[in-house]
Chain A
Amino acid sequence: MIQFLKLLFRNRLAGLGAVVLTFILLLALLTPILPLPDPDITATGDRFMPPFSDGHLLGTDHLGRDLLSRLMWGTRLSLAVGAAAALIAAFIGSTIGIVAGFLSGRTDNVIMRLVDMLMAFPYILLALAIVAALGPGLINALIAVAAVNIPFFARNIRGVTVGLANKEFVDAARLSGMSNIQIILSEILPNVLPVIVIAMSTTVGWMILETAGLSFLGLGSQPPQADLGSMLGEARAALITSPHTSIVPGIMIFLIVMSINLLGDGVRDAIDPRLKSGALSRPLPATIVERKETPPVASDDLLALQDLRTEFHVGDRTYKAVGGVSLKVNKGECLGIIGESGSGKSVTALSVMGLVASPPGKIVGGAVSFQGNDLVGASYDELRALRGDRVAYIFQDPLSTLHPLYKVGDQLIEAMQAHRRMPQKEARARAIELLDSVRIPNAARRVDNYPHEMSGGMRQRVSIAMALANEPDVIIADEPTTALDVTVQAQILSLLDDLRRERDLAIVFITHDFGVVAQLCDRVAVMYAGRIVEEGPTAAILDDPQHPYTKRLMACVPELGGGKRELHAIAGLPPAVDRLPQGCAFAPRCEFAQDVCRQGEIKLEPNGDRAVRCLFPDKVSQTEVTS
């Protein structure tokens, strides 16, 4: 709650709205006990007294009634009618929306077409027609305003409900023996309630305005009862001679509607969970760099990460996603990075080109040296010139990395023209050539396809073609086959392998699959809790893992051809990277752990062409995984 208010008041205008509205609401609530004259007593002798007259702070109207008193009582009435109309409209509209969205199919179709018909009328005309049919009066105006706003709620809530009705938890509730009504009440309703509240808070201002409009036309509250609309209507005749009689209710309407709308917007933003996580703030084009110590001297490898450290600062927490990673890759080499979710393997890859979202991400130490230049300190323009040109990425889900509204050929052409001038015709020929090189059959025709017209495997080939477009030196592939079917995965892997040999490419391949690493990579680095725990030639590591995590992780993975068996799970969970334990991060889950493992810094100890971050590698290497 306190956090909600904090978020709400971060939006200054919403805070202002909240203050003004609270003040008006308080006054309206206190009206009966305030020492005000009766609003309906006429005194024709005191007509049109100006504001600040004796006994009449805001003056009097055309019948000599006290304006302040009428304003207070009128505000009270207008607020009550507006709120009641909003509640009625929300209740009926949401019920229709939930029923239509939940039942779907024909019921949905029929209900929503009826709602559409209601929406086809201009709303004020519809309200007038309803009042005309029912006869003038405040209650009838209320009914009319509520009825006019039902479609808005029905449509909004239906949309949300359709999404929820297909969620797995609704299926689960059904299998737990709940009936449709029980599912609507206990599964759907709690999830749409926030949407209803937001919709109400943004429409209640409208409804007050609409009620005032009907009263202004003489169709709402009947004399002598005061509401803001009828006050305006009665003052209309004296607009020139005694403007204060119209200005007073006019300002009140303005204040109410304005404050409600500002507050409504603020509430909507504050409830949106994306705001809390900072996801709505646009990330910078390159990751922020805040290195305290001087960066290491650039190495002459093609691409080398030197003690790279990337952190996320969220609130007062610091997530050490990458905690000092050193890696290198050279021409024609394929380096695998293996690890589970949260191990920092993707953040490592994104840090290379400064693609980690900032805020909240920050590179706080180390260097990325590419062809002898440090990229971590490089300007955005330098990075942009390299991105997609010298260093290209392939991501997991091609459906979300390819733009759905452009033809794949145009996207390939754009990728090339972003880095060098090229006539359209030549670029198109090159695009076809690229599609051909990733073995897309009938490339000349496929070049004009949209991403949704291709299968998942074909789309991933297009992403690979795009990565190859500028003949890069390094390709960083982040789980490029995880979303694909196994037969397609085999083809994509062999394609990557061929391309690397043909073009002498360096590939950094991120995955969680040992089988893939074994088949594709020359060297492999195993990551755990943001650090490399073991690194070396793939065959050596797979034959004889020396870090207990590597060894246990391999034992977890069933391999085809092993028959029915029990798997050797690793007990416990990886540590959260904002609360890393002292010493070895794996110690709490490790059978070999001793007291020395839980203190100080444990180094990645080189040993020939491999390295391991463990105090007892020999013991690990000699012991069979049993439990």
Chain B
Amino acid sequence: MNALEVKNLTKTFEVGKTLFTKGQGVKAVRGMSFDVRDGETLGIVGESGCGKSTLARMLVGLLPPSEGDIQIEGKVQDKANPREFGQMIQYVFQDPISSLNPRKTIRQIIETPLKRLHGMGKAERSKRISEIFASVNLREEFLDRYPHEFSGGQAQRIGIARALAAAARILILDEPVSALDVSVQAQVLNLLAELKKEFGLTYLFISHDLAVVEAVSDRVMVLYFGAIVEVGPADAIFKHAKHPYTKLLADSAPVVGRALEAPKQKADELPDPLNPPKGCPFAKRCIYATDICETTDPALIEMGEDHFAACHNPIKG
């Protein structure tokens, strides 16, 4: 069974709407379909404006999708019962400090899901909190302090502890380490890997850092302009990229021992979301683009073992 099944998920935001007039629709997510397998880590990479955060917020029910459907563990996403929903899927935020209410103690923050989602009594809650805190390597004396007293890495552990408290099996990790220093980043990534093993979790790991995504993921999905351009096994997708955009990303990442040279592309601006192109949105930047790319948006098709890409002129090899 798949942990998550997403079909034709679309989000249209209206811009320029006033009280009396309808605005113009801007598609932030343009018909994404994908599965997240039980127990895997699916990495999602893409640059700013590619729709990765919008996608994540829809998956956890913070944003209603405009079209398409989401199935969680075989059931259609149903927010009518927030208690049940919160126990299925949880979210870890990018900015650890701002995701904690500055006027609540850590205990109050971690307790909320136990109280609201699981209806635990006081004694049971404090026992569970001790267990959770032990698993994220935090000392219990922190429980009665306030969020501003913690460093970024500690605050992110608290954020993870809150997601664990809900006991959901699927975690959406939205840039969980990008606000952290590299030495702390490694601590948190290792913690996430341990927790996954211990509790049998499924992760959707969103990041803009290709190396981090590659290090933690089983499969990687590359987004561009609100759509999936390539999805494949983590160990192959950057090495044997099929889509020119994936290749551009991989070639742009600074790597020790590689000479400094900006990878080839024709332009570097994203298409205008108010006036999206008819064909492939990457065509304007793509050095392999042909006539068909300007007119037809390519569909996602299989191009290798478990490897899909949406491109008319995929890179061979």
Instruction: Indicate if the CB atoms of B211 and A560 lie closer than 8 Å.
Output: yes
Residue A397 lies at the interface, judged by CB distance under 8 Å to chain B: no
Query: With A455-B269, A486-B47 in contact, is A340–B183 under 8 Å at CB?
Result: yes
Residue B296 lies at the interface, judged by CB distance under 8 Å to chain A: no
Binary flags per residue of A170-198, CB closer than 8 Å to B gives 1, else 0 = 01111111110010001100110000000
Instruction: Indicate if the CB atoms of A564 and B112 lie closer than 8 Å.
Output: no
In the assembly, what is the distance between CA of A456 and CA of B256, in Å?
25
In the assembly, what is the distance between CA of A562 and CA of B255, in Å?
11
Residue A518 lies at the interface, judged by CB distance under 8 Å to chain B: yes
Binary flags per residue of B261-273, CB closer than 8 Å to A gives 1, else 0 = 1110101111000
Measured CB to CB, the nearest residue on chain A to B189 is A567
Binary flags per residue of B258-301, CB closer than 8 Å to A gives 1, else 0 = 11111101011110000000000000000000000000000000
Cβ-defined partner of B215 (8 Å) among A171, A182, A562: A562
Instruction: Indicate if the CB atoms of A340 and B181 lie closer than 8 Å.
Output: yes
Q: Which of A172, A174, A455, A542 has most chain B Cβ within 10 Å?
A: A172
Measured CB to CB, the nearest residue on chain A to B79 is A174
Residue A559 lies at the interface, judged by CB distance under 8 Å to chain B: yes
Instruction: Indicate if the CB atoms of A176 and B254 lie closer than 8 Å.
Output: no
In the assembly, what is the distance between CA of A441 and CA of B285, in Å?
14
Measured CB to CB, the nearest residue on chain A to B17 is A105
Within 8 A of B (CB), among A415-468: 441, 455-457
Instruction: Indicate if the CB atoms of A494 and B261 lie closer than 8 Å.
Output: yes
Instruction: Indicate if the CB atoms of B253 and A169 lie closer than 8 Å.
Output: no
Residues of A within 8 Å of B249, CB to CB, are 486-487
In the assembly, what is the distance between CA of A594 and CA of B83, in Å?
53
Cβ-defined partner of B252 (8 Å) among A177, A489, A497, A570: A489
Query: With A560-B250, A560-B255 in contact, is A173–B19 under 8 Å at CB?
Result: no
- For the complex with contacts A175-B113, A571-B187, 16 further pairs of A-B residues with Cβ separation under 8 Å are A168-B94, A171-B62, A172-B91, A172-B93, A191-B102, A457-B268, A487-B249, A487-B263, A490-B254, A494-B260, A515-B256, A519-B254, A559-B256, A560-B214, A564-B218, A567-B190
A interface, how many residues as a size bin? Answer: 35 or more
Query: With A175-B91, A177-B86 in contact, is A556–B215 under 8 Å at CB?
Result: no
In the assembly, what is the distance between CA of A167 and CA of B94, in Å?
12
Instruction: Indicate if the CB atoms of B83 and A560 lie closer than 8 Å.
Output: no
Residues of A within 8 Å of B238, CB to CB, are 560-561
Q: Name A residues whose Cβ lies closer than 8 Å to a Cβ of B.
A: 106, 109, 167-169, 171-179, 182, 186-187, 190-191, 340-341, 441, 455-457, 485-491, 493-495, 497, 512-516, 518-520, 542, 552-553, 556-571, 573
| Binding site secondary structure of chain A | helix
Cβ-closest 7 pairs across A and B: A515-B254, A177-B116, A569-B186, A485-B47, A490-B252, A168-B99, A558-B215
Residues of B within 8 Å of A487, CB to CB, are 47, 248-249, 252, 263, 265, 268
In the assembly, what is the distance between CA of A487 and CA of B50, in Å?
13
Measured CB to CB, the nearest residue on chain B to A172 is B99
Cβ-defined partner of B182 (8 Å) among A187, A490, A557: A557
In the assembly, what is the distance between CA of A598 and CA of B80, in Å?
59
Residues of A within 8 Å of B107, CB to CB, are none
Instruction: Indicate if the CB atoms of B235 and A563 lie closer than 8 Å.
Output: yes
Cβ-defined partner of B251 (8 Å) among A106, A179, A490: A490
User: Closest CB of chain A to B12's CB: distance in Å?
Assistant: 16
Instruction: Indicate if the CB atoms of A520 and B86 lie closer than 8 Å.
Output: no
Measured CB to CB, the nearest residue on chain B to A512 is B182
Residues of B within 8 Å of A514, CB to CB, are 256
User: Closest CB of chain A to B269's CB: distance in Å?
Assistant: 6
12 examples of A-B residue contacts, CB within 8 angstroms: A168-B99, A172-B100, A175-B62, A175-B91, A485-B48, A487-B265, A493-B262, A514-B256, A560-B210, A560-B211, A566-B190, A567-B186
Instruction: Indicate if the CB atoms of A562 and B116 lie closer than 8 Å.
Output: no
In the assembly, what is the distance between CA of A487 and CA of B99, in Å?
29
Instruction: Indicate if the CB atoms of B260 and A519 lie closer than 8 Å.
Output: yes
Cβ-defined partner of A558 (8 Å) among B214, B258, B267, B268: B214
Instruction: Indicate if the CB atoms of A168 and B187 lie closer than 8 Å.
Output: no
Residue B202 lies at the interface, judged by CB distance under 8 Å to chain A: no
Measured CB to CB, the nearest residue on chain A to B212 is A558
